[in-house]
Chains A and B, each alone.
Chain A
Amino acid sequence: SAVISQKPSRDICQRGTSLTIQCQVDSQVTMMFWYRQQPGQSLTLIATANQGSEATYESGFVIDKFPISRPNLTFSTLTVSNMSPEDSSIYLCSVKSEETQYFGPGTRLLVL
């Protein structure tokens, strides 16, 4: 199993600012993912965070808006840059360990 923590758990930000979300895993994992989830909606994959190389972004998400770092096998950050109210959402990191995907508790972001 894997235990994941995320910081911050929630934040309220002003438009035009940036927020960096941290994801810490209690074990070394190869695959780490970042998702966005609007209230009442499904999960949308933003990118796969690769250790030692650039993240792989999904269609509709770009590095300039959502830069990702993955300095080692237990940690990753996602930055939401130049925020607008449309970025208000829950951001979740997850890891794949064997067959199972484990999620962090999420970061609830409100942009005013």
Chain B
Amino acid sequence: GQQVMQIPQYQHVQEGEDFTTYCNSSTTLSNIQWYKQRPGGHPVFLIQLVKSGEVKKQKRLTFQFGEAKKNSSLHITATQTTDVGTYFCAEYNFNKFYFGSGTKLNVKP
């Protein structure tokens, strides 16, 4: 099956610092989606990237899809305590979703 690797596994930052999580695949991805799961909550869809080199922004969040469509990143500028949670990437292909292992973000006030 498809394998999407995600790093780092954990990240602890001070409020106001930046944060980045990376998703990597050995094969070309059809697309990449990003989700956020708050502690005790369920995953919530953030965005989908489809095009090579695509960059999308949502306020302090910047999403990138690599030129070769084998990697993606989510960057948060000036983290806030509301950013706490686990961020997952996922590919939708062959009528199902393949999730990365997730990056757990903790933000210290």
**Option from A33, A99, A105 in Cβ contact (under 8 Å) with B96:** A33
Q: Are B88 and A48 in contact (CB under 8 A)?
A: no
Question: Known: A33-B97, A43-B88. Contact between A101 and B33, CB under 8 A?
Answer: yes
Q: Say yes or no: B42 contacts A92, CB within 8 Å.
A: yes
Within the assembled complex, what's the spacing in Å between the Cα atoms of A23 and B96? Answer: 18
B66 interface residue, CB < 8 Å from A? no
B85 within 8 A of A: no
Q: Which residues of chain B have C-beta atoms less than 8 A from A102's C-beta?
A: 45
Provide the residues of chain B in CB contact with A43, threshold 8 Å: 43, 88, 99
Please state if A42 and B101 are interface contacts (CB–CB under 8 Å): yes
Q: Is the CB of A42 within 8 A of B102?
A: yes
Majority DSSP secondary structure for residues of B touching A: strand
Q: Scan residues 88-109 of chain B and give those whose CB is less than 8 A from a CB of chain A.
A: 88, 90, 92, 95-97, 99-102, 104
Name the CB-closest residue of B to A50.
B95
Cβ-defined contact, B43 with A48, below 8 A: no
Alpha-carbon gap, A31 to B94, bound state (A): 12
Identify which of B45, B88, B92 gathers the most chain A CB atoms within 10 Å of its CB.
Answer: B45
Inter-chain CA distance A42–B104, complex, in Å, is 11
User: A42-B88, A45-B97, A48-B95 are contacts. A103–B102 as well, Cβ < 8 Å?
Assistant: no
Question: Are A101 and B45 in contact, CB atoms less than 8 angstroms apart?
Answer: yes
Instruction: A75 to B80: give the CA distance in the assembly, Å.
Output: 38
Q: Which of A42, A59, A103 contacts B42 (CB 8 A)?
A: A103
In the complex, A102→B48 CA distance in Å? Answer: 13
- Contacts A43-B99, A45-B96, A45-B97 known; A99 to B42 CB distance under 8 Å? no
B78 contacts A by Cβ under 8 Å: no
B residues sitting closer than 8 Å to A (CB atoms) are 1, 33, 35, 41-45, 48, 88, 90, 92, 95-97, 99-102, 104
Which of A's residues lie within 8 Å of B, judged by CB? 31, 33, 40-43, 45, 48, 59, 92, 96, 99-106
